[in-house]
A and B are shown apart, each in its own frame.
Chain A
Amino acid sequence: MSAPEVVVVGAGPGGISAALEVARAGASVWVLDEYPRPGGQYFRQPAPGLTVEPDSSVLEHASEGRLRIKQAEEAGVRFLPQVMVWGAFADGSLAILSEGKAEVLAPAKLILAAGAHERPVAFPGWTLPGVITAGAAQALVGGQGLLPGRRIMMAGTGPLQVAVAAQLVRAGGHLAGVLEANSFGALLRLGARCWGQWERLWDGLRYWRTLRAAGVPLAFGRTVVRALGDGQLARVVTAALDQNWKVIAGTEREIEVDTLCLGFWLAPNTKLARLLGCDVTYDPSRGGLVPAHTERMETSRPGVFAVGETAGIAGATAAELQGRIAGIAAAQQLGKGNPAEAAARISAARDELARELRFARYLNDVFSVKPGLLDLITDETVVCRCEEITWGRWREERSEWATTLDAVRTTTRTGFGLCQGNVCESLVGQLLARETGKTMGELGSYHIRPPLKPITLGALADLGPRLPPPPKRMEH
C-alpha cells in the first residue's frame, strides 16, 4: 500500500468534510472506517446489498450523507471501509488491519474523526442480553433494517435518545416508554437558553410529536434502575429521580420489555489521540476527556488534527465545520491551496462553529450524568464488562495508593479486557472520583498501548520488522 499524504480516521460528517477539503486542495487522502459503508452514525448508509427508499423516514440523513460521500469521491477522496486502526507509533505512522492483513501507513498528516460512544451507566442487570445502547438501536434500524426487539424501553438523557425512539416508532417498533432522567423543569431551562435555535427546537418538537402520536409514554425525572430476566432481559424496574438523579424511594415500578436502550449522552473517542501522545484535558463542557487543539483543530502533536465528536461532543454541524477547518489547514501545511483563501474560509467556518459550540456547551452541561445515579451500583454490579469485575471486587482489590485511573487499572484489571477500557473508563473514573474525593481532571486516564483492538499473532507476524517503535510513555 502506498500511503496518501493525508489519512483521515473515521468516515462520519467530520471525516468526510475534512477529506473533501484536502482533496479539493490537491492532496491525496484516504478515509479509513471500520464499518462496511462510509457515513458514520449520523450519515449512516444501509449496509451493502440492503437498499432503502430514498427519503425514508427510517433513515433520516442517509440521502444527505450519500450526497456528501459522492461529492468527496468525485473530488478524489478514497474511502477504505472495514479497516481497523489498531496502533500508532512514535513516528506518527498508523497500524491498520484490512481484510485480515496488517499494514503500516505513514501519512504526512493525520486527521482523527473517530466519533463518540454512549456514556456507560451501570446498574444491576445492565450486562443482560437485551440491554443495548441507543446507538446500537440506531445502527440496527438504519444500517440493517432490523428492530432490536418487540417491546422496547428507552432510558437515558438528551435529545439523541428521543431521536432514536422516534426512528424506532417510524420503523414500526413498539416502545413501552421513553424515560428522560432530567426533570421537565431542567429541560425548560435548557429550552430558554436555546432561544433562537429554532431549527433545533423544531427538530425536538417533531420527534416528540412522533412519539405522542404513537401513544408512547414519555416520563421526565425517571430512569431504569434494574434490568431483570433469566439469561436475557424480560423486565425492567423504573424509578423517579431527584435533581441529583438519586432514586426517590417508593417510586419503583416494574414493566415487561424485551429490549432496553440506554442513551446517556456521549463520550468522545480519544484513544487514538492519546496513543499518539496528544495532550488531553478533562472538560465536562466538551463531554469529558478531549484532546487539546488549536483554532485550526491541530492537536499538541504537529500534523495531527482532531475533529468532530473526538474533539468534543458538539453534533454533526460542528463536526463538518471542524472537518472543513482541519482539511484546509492540513492541505495548507502540505503547501497546497491558496493561503489567502484558506485563511478567509477558516475564519468564516470558525464564526459558524462558535455558535454551534455555545449550544453544545449547554447540552453537555444539562445532559451530564449526575452523581446520584452511581448509587444504583451494588457490590454485585459489574463495572468492567470485559473482565467481569464487580464493584465489590473492585473496592477490595483497589489499593489505597491507587488514586489515579491508570493505577486503578493496574491493581483491579478494569480496562484490561478486549475493549481496552472503551466502556469502563469513564464509569470507573466517576466511581474513583467519588471514592477519593478527587475531580475527574485529577484522576488522569488509562494509559493506552497498541494494540487498541485485538489482532491475531499471525497478522502481527506478517508485519514483522516493518513494525515501528511505540510512542514514548507520557509522563504524568
Chain B
Amino acid sequence: MPHDDLRILKDFRRGQPVRIEVDGEPLQAFEGETVATALLASGRRIFRHTPGGSPRGLYCGMGICFDCVVEVDGESSVRSCITLVRPGMKVRTPRPFGREEAQP
C-alpha cells in the first residue's frame, strides 16, 4: 500500500531523493526531511519499544519529549523529529534488550 499520500503536494516542492536504510530495509526520503517524517511517510508509526515493551512514536515533534528517539548510524537516543536524513543513513527502531526476535 502506498503511504506517500501523507506528503502534502499543495504548495510544497520536495528536494532531491535521499536513500536511507531503516532496520535493514531501503527507504526513500527527500532532502530536508527528518527521520520522523521519513518513517511516518512510509507508514511506520511505531518508532521504538520502551524497555518495558510498550510501543512509542512521535509525540511532541519539537525535540522536547525524547519519545521519538531511534538509533542513527550506531548512535542511540537520537531524536528523529529534529534529525535530518542523510544519504546512506542507517536507522534502527529500538527494541527492548533480549526481545529482538520477539518482534515481527
| Binary per-residue interface labels of chain A (316-348) against chain B in the complex, 1 for a CB within 8 Å, 0 otherwise | 000000000000000000000000000000000
Query: How far is A46 from B36 in the complex, measured between Cα atoms in Å?
Result: 15
Return chain A residues, CB-CB under 8 Å to B30. 49-50
A139 near B69 (CB under 8 angstroms)? no
**From residue 119 to 152 of chain A, which have CB atoms closer than 8 A to chain B?**
127-133, 135-141, 144-150
> Assuming the A-B contacts A49-B16, A231-B46, A456-B75, are A58 and B10 also in contact, with contact meaning beta carbons closer than 8 angstroms in the complex?
yes
The closest CB in chain A to the CB of B66 belongs to A418
Is the beta-carbon distance between A172 and B32 smaller than 8 angstroms?
no
With A and B bound together, what is the CA distance between A455 and B47 in angstroms?
20
Q: How many residues of B contact A (CB 8 A)?
A: 46
Whether A117 lies near B47 (C-beta < 8 A) is: no
Q: Are B8 and A232 in contact (CB under 8 A)?
A: no
Known A-B contacts A48-B32, A136-B81, A419-B64; A171 and B59 likewise in contact (beta carbons under 8 Å): no
Q: Taking the nearest CB of chain B, how far is it from the CB of A62, in angstroms?
A: 10
Q: Is A133 within 8 A of B59, CB to CB?
A: yes
User: Measured between alpha carbons, how far is A53 from B12 in the docked complex, in Å?
Assistant: 7
Decide: A130 and B45 in contact? CB cutoff 8 A: yes
Question: Does B82 lie within 8 Å of A46, measured CB to CB?
Answer: no
A50 to B36, CA, bound (A): 15
Is B51 in contact with chain A by the CB < 8 A criterion? yes
Q: Which of A232, A418, A456 contacts B57 (CB 8 A)?
A: A232
Instruction: Indicate if B89 sits at the interface (CB-CB under 8 A).
Output: no
Q: Nearest Cβ in chain A — how far from B47, in angstroms?
A: 7
Residues of A within 8 A of B14 (CB): 49-50, 145
Q: Could you mark each residue 58-89 of chain A with 1 if its beta carbon is under 8 Å from any beta carbon of chain B, else 0? A: 11000000000000000000000010000000
- Residues 28 to 49 of chain B near chain A (Cβ within 8 Å): 30-34, 36-37, 40-41, 45-47
B13 near A51: Cβ-Cβ < 8 Å: yes
Q: Which residues of B sit under 8 angstroms from A138, Cβ to Cβ?
A: 61
How far is B59's CA from A118's CA once the two chains are assembled, in angstroms?
A: 11
A14 to chain B, nearest CB (A): 16
Q: Which of B80-102 contact A (CB under 8 A)?
A: 81-82, 84
| Contact B60 A423, beta carbon cutoff 8 Å | yes
Give Cα A137–Cα B37 distance, bound, in whole angstroms.
Answer: 11
- Contact check: which of A47, A137, A148 meets B32 at CB < 8 Å? A47
Contact of B13 among A50, A58, A132, A418 (CB under 8 A): A50
Residues B65 and A49 in contact, CB atoms below 8 Å apart: no
The reply to whether B32 and A46 form a contact with Cβ atoms under 8 Å apart is: yes
Which residues of B have CB within 8 Å of A144?
A: 32-34, 37
Choose from B6, B15, B65 the contact partner of A149 (Cβ within 8 Å): B6
Given contacts A35-B82, A132-B61, A137-B61, contact A50 B33 (CB under 8 A): yes
B residues less than 8 Å from A128 (CB atoms):
55, 57
B24 within 8 Å of A (CB atoms): no
B63 to chain A, nearest CB (A): 5
Give Cα distance in the complex from A454 to B76, angstroms. Answer: 10
A286 at interface, CB cutoff 8 A: no
Do the beta carbons of B11 and A385 come within 8 Å of each other?
Answer: no
Q: Is the CB of B55 within 8 A of A422?
A: no
User: Measured between alpha carbons, how far is A386 from B59 in the docked complex, in Å?
Assistant: 12
B56 and A136 contact, CB distance less than 8 A? no
Give Cα A150 to B45, complex, Å: 12
Which residue from chain A places its CB closest to the CB of B15 in the assembled complex? A49
A388 in contact with B55 (CB, 8 Å): no
Chain A nearest CB from B80 CB (Å) reads 12
Complex Cα distance A138/B82, Å?
Answer: 14
Whether A385 lies near B10 (C-beta < 8 A) is no
CB nearest to A138 among chain B residues: B61
Question: CB distance B77 to A129 under 8 Å?
Answer: no
CB <8 Å contact, A422 and B46: no
A182 CB, nearest partner CB in chain B, Å:
23
Q: Is B52 in contact with chain A by the CB < 8 A criterion?
A: yes
* B60→A171 contact, CB < 8 A: no
Question: CA separation between A422 and B67, bound complex, in Å?
Answer: 11
> Closest residue of chain B to A37, judged by CB?
B32
Judge whether A117 and B37 touch: CB under 8 Å. no
Contacts of B11 in A (CB 8 A): 52-53, 56-59, 145
* A130 and B50 contact, CB distance less than 8 A: no
Determine the residue in chain A with the shortest Cβ distance to B67.
Answer: A385
A232 and B55 contacting across the interface, CB-CB below 8 Å: yes
Query: B58 touching A132 by the CB < 8 A rule?
Result: yes
5 closest A-B pairs by CB: A136-B61, A129-B57, A49-B15, A49-B32, A49-B31
Q: List 10 A-B contacts (CB under 8 A).
A: A52-B11, A52-B12, A58-B12, A127-B54, A144-B34, A145-B14, A171-B10, A385-B65, A417-B66, A419-B64
Known pairs A50-B31, A385-B67. 6 more at Cβ < 8 A?
A50-B12, A52-B12, A117-B65, A131-B59, A145-B14, A171-B8
